[in-house]
């Protein structure tokens, strides 16, 4: 079973994506996959990984769109662009926008592995990607799983609490159902999972948010959960 660094592969061609994943896992890397720009954008901003391999032309947001979002929200994240567009201006744009390397299709898997190894060596001393967010009067450090509250108070978050808080924050005030959280966030079958599992994490997270004057986690009866970040009233 691969135990090396996690590499995110965002590529819409299933044959190319499958080949890259197989080669990476054979070389000892762990992998995450995304088959289009929408899933790629979500995974690139939420998942934990050391390196992203990023196609340019995909359904939904383009690779350049995803790269720009990564640079805004996760500065320092290592990225290699994979593209059939080998024109000089595209390569220059990708590198100028913050990619660590640019590999033109078609490429050999041996070449790709060499590029991956080189980028990981170059970026091994780079600080971990910034992953903080302001939610009303508090700040969340998702990388360290710390909740910074008014008055200098800090609360530790479990991995599940941090992922739940991030998901609700990304929903931007939308009510999120239990089923959506279990299926999309924890990859569990909502019909085979006790709802007390999510109730427990919501309760713990709500207690940790209690000192905030603006951020609150509410239960909307019969519908789900909602994170609000504005003062009551």
- The answer to whether residues 130 and 76 touch, using CB atoms and an 8 Å cutoff, is yes
Distances (CA, A) of 222 to 99, 130, 226: 45, 36, 12
Per-domain residue ranges of the chain:
6-123, 132-228
Closest residue by Cα to residue 11 from 38, 31, 40? 40
Q: Which fold has domain 6-123?
A: Rossmann fold (3.40.50)
- The answer to whether residues 8 and 53 touch, using CB atoms and an 8 Å cutoff, is yes
Ramachandran sector of residue 28 (left: φ over 0; alpha: ψ -120 to 50; beta: rest)? left
**pTM above the 0.75 mark?**
no
Q: Tens digit of pLDDT for each residue in 79-126?
A: 999 988 766 677 778 888 888 999 988 889 999 999 999 999 887 755
Per-residue pLDDT of the chain (233 residues; tens, 9 = 90+): 676 889 999 999 999 999 999 999 999 999 999 999 999 999 998 888 889 999 998 999 999 999 999 888 887 789 999 988 766 677 778 888 888 999 988 889 999 999 999 999 887 755 555 578 888 898 998 878 889 988 888 899 988 888 889 888 888 789 999 888 887 777 777 777 666 778 888 999 999 998 888 888 999 998 999 999 876 55
CATH of segment(s) 132-228: 1.10.10.10
DSSP 182: I
Closest residue by Cα to residue 65 from 42, 88, 92? 42
* Predicted pLDDT of residue 189: 74
* Predicted pLDDT of residue 129: 59
The chain-wide mean pLDDT, for the chain, equals: 86
């Amino acid at each position: 079973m691969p135990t090396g660094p996690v590499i995110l592969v965002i590529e819409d061609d299933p044959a190319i994506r499958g080949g890259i994943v197989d080669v990476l896992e054979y070389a000892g890397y762990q992998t995450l996959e995304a088959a289009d720009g929408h899933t790629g954008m979500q995974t690139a901003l939420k998942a934990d990984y050391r390196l992203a391999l990023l196609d340019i032309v995909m359904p939904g947001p383009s690779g350049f769109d995803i790269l720009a979002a990564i640079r805004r929200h996760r500065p320092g994240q290592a990225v290699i662009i994979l593209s059939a567009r080998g024109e000089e201006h595209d390569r220059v744009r990708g590198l100028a926008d913050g990619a660590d390397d640019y590999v033109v299709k078609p490429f050999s898997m041996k070449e790709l592995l060499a590029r991956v190894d080189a980028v990981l060596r170059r970026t091994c001393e780079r600080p971990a990607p910034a992953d903080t967010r302001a939610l009303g009067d508090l700040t969340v450090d998702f990388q360290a799983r710390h909740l910074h509250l008014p008055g200098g108070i800090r609360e530790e978050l479990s991995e599940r609490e941090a992922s739940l808080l991030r998901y609700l924050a990304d929903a931007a005030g939308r009510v999120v159902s239990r089923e959506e959280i279990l299926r999309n966030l924890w990859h569990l079958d909502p019909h085979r999972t006790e709802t007390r599992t999510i109730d427990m994490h919501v309760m713990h997270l709500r207690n940790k948010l209690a000192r905030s004057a603006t951020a609150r986690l509410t239960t909307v009866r019969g519908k789900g959960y909602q994170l609000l970040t504005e003062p009551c009233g």
